[in-house]
Amino acid sequence: MRRRPLAALPLLACALAASRAAGQGALPLTRAERTEFRETSRYADVVSFLEAVDRASPRIHLTTFGYSWEGRALPLAVAGAVPDASARAVRASGKTVVYLQGDIHAGEVEGKEALQEILRDIAQGRHAAWMQSLVLLVAPIFNADGNERVALGNRPGQNGPIGGMGTRANAQDLNINRDYSKLETPEARSQARLMNEYDPHVLLDLHTTNGTYHAYQLTYAPPLNPNTDAAIAALLRDEWLPAVTAAVKRARGWDFYYYGNVPNAESPWAAGPGAERGWYTYDWRPRFSNHYWGLRNRFGILSETYSYLTFRERIEVQKRFVEEVLDWAAANAARIRAATAAADRRDLRGTELAVTSRLRRTGPSTILMGEVTEERNPYTGEVMERRKDVVRPERMPEFIGYDAAATERVPAAWLVPDSLGDVADRLRAHGIRVQPLAQAPASVEAFHVDSATTARGELEGHHERRLFGRWEAVRTRPSGAWLRVPADQPLGRLAFTLLEPRSDDGFAAWGLLDAWLKEPAAYPILRER
């Protein structure tokens, strides 16, 4: 990715006029700061801000990493001791690379504002310790199209910004944070391309939750898919996230915890109707960012500030979380690189991986429940909820992890018919290695489909499917040209999820193979024993 000037992009004329000081070269305020946190930054504000910090600091280099559906260039600020913003320079640095993403849901905007403030701090010479061992890839405005669809009625109940915010979906009306497996949005494809080129070791996705009335200023989640490399999952859950939680509690008195909700009749969340009272996490499938990153053998972290804090408070909390995560990463950079490298080398052939999962019940644990009060948006009169300084500890079981509900053996490789060009394109977009074959090997298996179910409701333009059946040896060597997808590769866990027929987030589950699943039911992808 070459450095691209962004001056041709539309800018607001006043973007640099409002700055911290009147002198020449002063760094700008964010739009949130300029408006006393009534408004959130628009696309042009973010671009202008990034250009300003780029000019101000030799440690910050500005580029783009892809495009939105409506053709907006997705800005990326590369911060670190590197000569330029190219992937080649970042990888040649030998440092631990951290990707920071805001605004994937453009109503959840505090990550976008916090990341701009962090870049300004770096431009002013702060966080020098990060620059010794880390390179940061900062993408503050990932859902650029949704960000521009500002309306005062978006995200009802959220405590500001009272001047409105963007939409959850992109311009295709798709949720980018359900697209990491199927790659149907240009934004998700752009992010996959960034991963293939820059290969970050750590990735953070910054959100805001508006669920249960709890007492936490922020909740977080590591990758939850049980196929995540065990060493990566353990380092996050046993050391990294607890260290961040303890540091914030000491410094600010804030309470952070693992993401969850307490289900009720109106909002069953991941628990399903009629579930026992408890603290429940969300879906495990790699259509979600941090689970997808985990299946790529990387440290994926979800951050959820609390919707009922004020907009200003949410920015402050989100910024502090990111800072603590980066402080720990800087101090443990070599360990992080070693863990991802070991996961990339691990040979999965012959092991059992999950094709679907179930919640794990643990505890009981003490969960901090809270309360909110009602306020009114002064411009619409609509109710906004505000966190009260109330903490009600409650003992309850936890459901914040997943175990395998069904497993399948990892083969030597999968064989994709050359005629399935769309499948091959998606695999390559993920960065999964494929090898052309003139003919199939002699010893292969085919999946016999016994039955299938199709969801009535539509999700992201698809009716999700589940296949049931078994792998059986093929007596006659199949004809035709094939693409071999070896399991023994760094992205073997992801290839397993996408290609196994019973996988709950694979190409078959999204209906992408329906054209080949006619009677007689025969799954078109084979596997090499």
Residue 24 has pLDDT above 50, yes or no: no
- pLDDT of residue 18 exceeding 70, the answer is no
Are 371 and 474 within one domain?
Answer: no
pLDDT tens track for 265-287: 666 666 777 789 999 999 999 99
Same structural domain, 490 and 371: no
375 and 419 both lie in a single domain: no
Q: State how far the Cα of 29 lies from the Cα of 119, in Å rounded to an integer.
A: 12
Residue-wise pLDDT for 463-518, tens only, equals 999 999 999 999 888 888 999 999 999 999 999 999 999 999 999 999 999 888 87
Tokens linked to 130 = 């990060």
Average pLDDT over residues 109-120: 98
DSSP codes of every residue in 433-446: --EEESS--SSEEE
38 and 174 fall within a common domain: yes
Q: Could you give the 3-state DSSP secondary structure of residue 116?
A: helix
pLDDT (0 to 100) of residue 439:
87
pLDDT average, residue stretch 153-168: 97
Quote the pLDDT of residue 302: 98
Handedness of CA 148, 153, 158, 164 (dihedral sign): positive
Whether residue 370 sits in one domain with residue 227: no
Q: Which residue has the tokens 């709950």?
A: 504
pLDDT exceeds cutoff 70 at 230: yes
Give pLDDT, residue 273: 75
The whole-angstrom separation of Cα 78 and Cα 74 is 13
* Whole-number pLDDT of residue 9: 40
Give the per-residue pLDDT at 21.
Answer: 37
User: pLDDT tens across 323-340, in order?
Assistant: 999 999 999 999 999 999
Whole-number pLDDT of residue 187: 98
Give me the CATH number covering residue 161.
3.40.630.10
| pLDDT at residue 15 greater than cutoff 70 | no
Residues 289 and 143 in one domain: yes
pLDDT at 159 over 70: yes
Q: Is the residue at 11 inside a domain?
A: no
Q: Decide if 299 contacts 293 (C-beta within 8 A).
A: yes
Task: Look over the chain and give the mean of its residue pLDDT values, rounded to a whole number.
Answer: 93
pLDDT at 179 over 60: yes
What are the angstrom distances between the C-alpha of 507 and each of 112, 465, 494?
Answer: 32, 10, 11
Please tell me whether residues 228 and 129 are part of one structural domain.
yes
Specify the pLDDT at position 20: 38
- Name the domain count of the chain: 3
Nearest 5°: the CA angle 414, 415, 420 is: 120
Position 452 pLDDT exceeds 80: yes
If asked whether residues 315 and 358 sit together in one domain, one would say no
Confidence of residue 5 (pLDDT cuts 50, 70, 90): very low
Q: Among 6-15, 186-195, 213-222, 443-452, which is the least confidently predicted range?
A: 6-15
Same domain, yes or no: 221 and 209 = yes
Helix axes 43-56, 110-123, angle to 10 degrees: 20
Q: 484 is in which domain, residue-wise?
A: 411-528
Kindly give, in sequence order, each residue whose CB lies less than 8 Å from that of residue 57, ignoring residues fewer than 6 positions away: 122, 123, 124
The per-residue pLDDT for 22 is 32
Same-domain check for residues 435 and 303: no
Q: Are 98 and 209 members of one domain?
A: yes
For residues 212 and 323, membership in a common domain is answered with yes
Of the residues 405, 440, 470, the one at which a domain ends: 405
Q: Classify residue 159: in a domain, yes or no.
A: yes
Terminal CA-to-CA distance of the chain, rounded, Å?
A: 39
DSSP secondary structure string for all residues of 320-368? HHHHHHHHHHHHTHHHHHHHHHHHHH---TT-EEEEEEEEEEEEEEEEE
